[in-house]
């Protein structure tokens, strides 16, 4: 009998994708036949990049990873996974602060779709502290971002931060 493809969905807001996200995606890759990086609409208020822009930036930095697909969706994650034939949500787990929220989301997703399990990869120590919101804050002070973001997206990100700064000043 033919084995079913093992497909993992890695959801997030990715505003923007960081080296911490990339680390999880690269480590997930050998564990599954396909990894779908899914940009979801969530509580990020006033995002830097539109969904489509985030998809484009992630495609750019994963173009060397053949079994990685990038998509976006406004569907419930549990419904998206069912539709795509995936039974694993894969997430990165940073410090204890991620735990409670992730535990709750994993339980809810499995309630909606009993075939869906959530798996966690622990963050690598060098990215344990890293989040997209921290990178946005650092960028607003003109900090060097090369330890935090894939090099290919830094110019786009800096340009966007600068545009936002100018439009905020203009609005005063």
The span from the CA of 58 to the CA of 136, in Å, is 17
Which entry of 3, 45, 125, 167 is annotated as an active-site residue? 45
Please, which residue, 96 or 171, has the CB nearer to ligand ADP? 96
Distances, alpha carbon 25 to alpha carbons 16, 63, 104, 108, 171, in Å: 14, 12, 22, 23, 39
The span from the CA of 129 to the CA of 20, in Å, is 9
The span from the CA of 110 to the CA of 36, in Å, is 19
Ramachandran category for residue 14: left, alpha or beta (phi over 0 → left; psi -120 to 50 → alpha): left
Q: Binder to ligand ADP among 113, 132, 145, 149 (CB under 6 A)?
A: 132
Compute the least distance from the CB of residue 106 to ligand ADP, in Å: 11
Sign of the alpha-carbon dihedral angle for 49, 53, 56, 60: negative
Does residue 133 belong to the site contacting ligand ADP (CB under 6 A)? yes
Compute the least distance from the CB of residue 65 to ligand ADP, in Å: 16
Which residue is associated with the tokens 């995936």? 86
Taking CB under 6 A as the binding criterion, the range among 50-58, 79-87, 111-119, 130-138 that sits at the site for ligand ADP is 130-138
**Do 8 and 81 meet the contact criterion of CB atoms below 8 Å apart?**
no
Site string for ligand ADP, 55-94 (x = CB under 6 A): ------------------------------------xx-x
- Residue 125 falls in the annotated catalytic set: no
Does residue 20 belong to the site contacting ligand ADP (CB under 6 A)? yes
Q: Which of 128, 127, 119, 163 is nearest to 147 (CA)?
A: 127
Please, which residue, 140 or 166, has the CB nearer to ligand ADP? 140
Taking CB under 6 A as the binding criterion, the range among 28-36, 57-65, 72-80, 123-131 that sits at the site for ligand ADP is 123-131
Q: Which residues are at the interface with ligand ADP (CB under 6 A)?
A: 12-14, 18, 20-21, 24, 91-92, 94, 98, 123, 127, 130-133
């Amino acid at each position: 009998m033919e084995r079913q493809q093992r497909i993992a969905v890695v959801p997030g807001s990715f505003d923007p994708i960081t080296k911490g996200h990339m680390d999880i995606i690269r480590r997930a890759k050998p564990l599954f036949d396909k990894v779908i990086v899914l940009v979801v609409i969530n509580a990020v208020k006033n995002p830097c990049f539109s969904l489509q822009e985030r998809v484009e930036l992630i495609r750019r930095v994963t173009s060397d990873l053949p079994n990685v697909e990038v998509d976006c969706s406004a569907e419930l994650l549990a419904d998206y996974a069912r539709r795509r034939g995936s039974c694993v949500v894969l997430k990165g787990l940073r410090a204890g602060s991620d735990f409670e929220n992730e535990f709750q989301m994993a339980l809810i997703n499995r309630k909606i779709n009993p075939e869906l399990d959530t798996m966690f990869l622990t963050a690598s120590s060098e990215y344990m502290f890293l989040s997209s919101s921290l990178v946005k804050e650092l960028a607003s002070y003109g900090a060097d971002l090369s330890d935090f973001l894939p090099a290919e997206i830094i110019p786009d990100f800096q340009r966007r931060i600068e545009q936002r700064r100018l439009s905020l000043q203009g609005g005063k």
